[in-house]
Homo-oligomer: A and B are copies of this chain.
Amino acid sequence: MGYVAAIDVGGTTMKGGLVARDGTIRHAERRPTPRAEGPARVVAAISAFVADLARPRDGVRPQAVGLAVPGLVTPTHAVFSAAFGWRDVPAEAFAGDVDLPVALGHDVRSAGEAELAYGGGEDDVLYLPIGTGIAGAVVLSGALYGGAGGWAGQIGHIPVRPGGAACGCGQRGCLAAYASGGAVAARFGAPGAEEVVRALLDGDARAAAVWDDAVDALALALATYTLVLDPAAVVIGGGVAQAGETLLAPLRTRLGARLGERPAPAVRASSLGAVAGLMGAGLLGWRAAPAT
């Protein structure tokens, strides 16, 4: 059975693997993203990772390479990434010496495509990964929707508390400033959101207050999304979704209250979990692979 090499390039970790056409992951490994070392070092780390994944295993080589990266991306160029300081990096730069077709894609949208292809379910759904930041993949009538200019899905910057907490984007009161993993951790004063969840479950009142703010901000943003687009479901992914019902149960209650008499969409955790991005990168690779 054939496979493609796929890497989901995150802000702190790269997840790479070999992905079959049906989404099966044959081999997976994680490496740190050397973000602090500058734009070129991140490109070099990716191309080294590609070279390792491109080696034959059991006599079989991958047919193509799919890379899911953050920022503004076309299939052939990483046009702009604030996270990595990239500007117009061509897809070939990520392949180094490896002579395979390479396709780039947006990390969150690719994960959304994987949810759509492999997660099963609704045609009208918001896929919302909550990790260090918050982004969204807007799936309408069974297809990802990019908007007039490709900028749709910036759910993390919905102004839920106008004039509120400062956000990295330069605005105030954005959803991400309250409910991203980064914001939850920073507001509590912990390295990550997991520590906040642990403190919350241990009965820490300050953790409960931070979590409450996060859930409330999310409920507001999802109420707005529902009023505008009436989705059948909201599928939450990313690291923060690992909080499970600690997040989802109060979120459903608050969202229902915000919507009054109209029914709320189903709110659930991604069934693909943390590998949605890798599976999405696999889909990118399969799109670039030569027809067989």
Contacts and interface: CB of A to CB of B under 8 A. Distances in A.
A261 interface: yes
B228 A171 contact: no
Contact of A228 (B122, B123, B153): B153
For the side of the interface on A, what is the size category?
35 or more
A220 B172 CA distance: 12
A9 to B, nearest CB: 23
A145 B140 contact: yes
B260 A152 contact: no
A270 to B, nearest CB: 18
Interface string A138-149: 101100011111
B260 A170 contact: yes
Nearest to A150: B230
Contact of A224 (B147, B159, B170, B231): B159
A230 B122 contact: no
B261 A138 contact: no
Contacts of A171: 258, 260
Interface string A167-178: 001110000000
